[in-house]
Amino acid sequence: MEFQHIINEIKKVDPEMPERLSDRRTAMKSFAGIGAKIGLAALPFFIGSIFKKAYAQAGPSQNVVLDVLNYALTLEYLEAEFYAMGIAKGTALVPAGAPAAAIKTIGDHEAAHVQFLKTAITASGGTPVAKPTFDFTAGGTFANVFSDYATFLAVAQTFEDTGVRAYKGRAAEITKGGDLLTAALNIHSVEARHAAHIRTMRKANGFGDVKPWITGKESGIGSVVQASYDGEELSTQAGINIVNINGAMISASAATEAFDEGLTKEQVLAIVGPFIVQ
């Protein structure tokens, strides 16, 4: 029977597995009967509930995992639709060639993140949140976001840098989260790659004096996006001052650039709030 095979596979990596399940010994003994009664289709769910309890101490609770994943999904919806709408404007917005190719690369990744997270949420026993309705002008603040290249890239940079901070800010909640944590980290670093490239594009076009990394809490955009950069000026990590650390000539700027900072859920929701109609 397939189920017994799974048990044997688990025993290979965790010989103590039967002991972990000892309080469910009765259930273990009557698997065959249960299988016949509840039917094969229902088995995966049944198995999932057994192991969820037995291995609960191994990582974050299902509720926390699902909350983090749905939070991430909301941000990915925002980014994916933003790039899709920008790309739809064609060369009237983003110049052909390298710029258009880069925006397409990034947009494709964001769309892939949406699909991946939806699948992961469902596989984890949750329901993916619905896509909100967005207003990328943020109520008129960025009125020309899809007609002016500089504004488009400014909003893109803000979304990417905010995205990096958003994933980082909640990673600790899914400590010991296994492959789900790894997946979140693998998205996080892709967002950082995007951010670096968008920043390089803005610099190359003279839209902002920025580097691929964040210096102090400078956005190179203006006060309107400052909330996405506040806190990045931190130059002390785990109580250790990074400036000129251990006699090395590390400037205050380099000390802030060397570490990106997280944002809390509340901070991120306040930042993206103006872009969400409902």
Partner 1 sequence: MIQKSSEALSRRAFLGMAGAATGMMVLASSCSKNDDDNMMNNGVDLGSGDVGILNYAYALEQLEAAFYTRVAQSPYNGISASENALLTDIRDHEIAHREFFKSALAGAAISNLEFDFSAVDFSSRASVLATAKAFEDLGVSAYNGAGKLIVTPDYLTLAGKIVSVEARHAAYIRDLISNGSFADNTVVDMNGLDTSRMPADVLAVAAGFIKTKINASNLPR
Residue 130 contacts partner 1 per CB under 8 A: no
Q: Any contact of residue 200 with partner 1 (CB under 8 A)?
A: yes
Name the helix (H) or strand (E) containing 8.
helix 2-13
For partner 1, which residue of 115, 144, 205, 264 counts as binding (CB under 8 A)?
115
Q: How far is the CB of 252 from partner 1 (least distance, A)?
A: 11
Span from 23-31, 88-96, 133-141, 205-213 in contact with partner 1 (CB under 8 A): 205-213
Q: Which two tokens stand for residue 221?
A: 């955009």
Q: Which of residues 208-237 bind partner 1 (CB under 8 A)?
A: 211-213, 237
Q: Specify the residue, 141 or 253, whose C-beta has the smaller distance to partner 1.
A: 253
Q: From CA 170, how far away is CA 157, in angstroms rounded? A: 20
What is the C-alpha to C-alpha distance for residues 46 and 195, in angstroms, rounded to an integer? 43
Nearer to partner 1, 36 or 58 (CB): 58
Q: How far apart, in whole angstroms, are the C-alpha atoms of residue 221 and residue 236?
A: 25
> Which residues from 44-103 bind partner 1, rule CB under 8 A?
51, 55, 57-59, 98, 101-102
Interface with partner 1 (CB under 8 A), residue total 80
Q: Does 116 bind partner 1 (CB under 8 A)?
A: yes
Q: How far is CA 123 from CA 38, 105, 117, 181, 235, in A?
A: 21, 27, 10, 14, 40
Residue 102 tokens read as 């880069």
Encoded tokens for 196: 């670096």
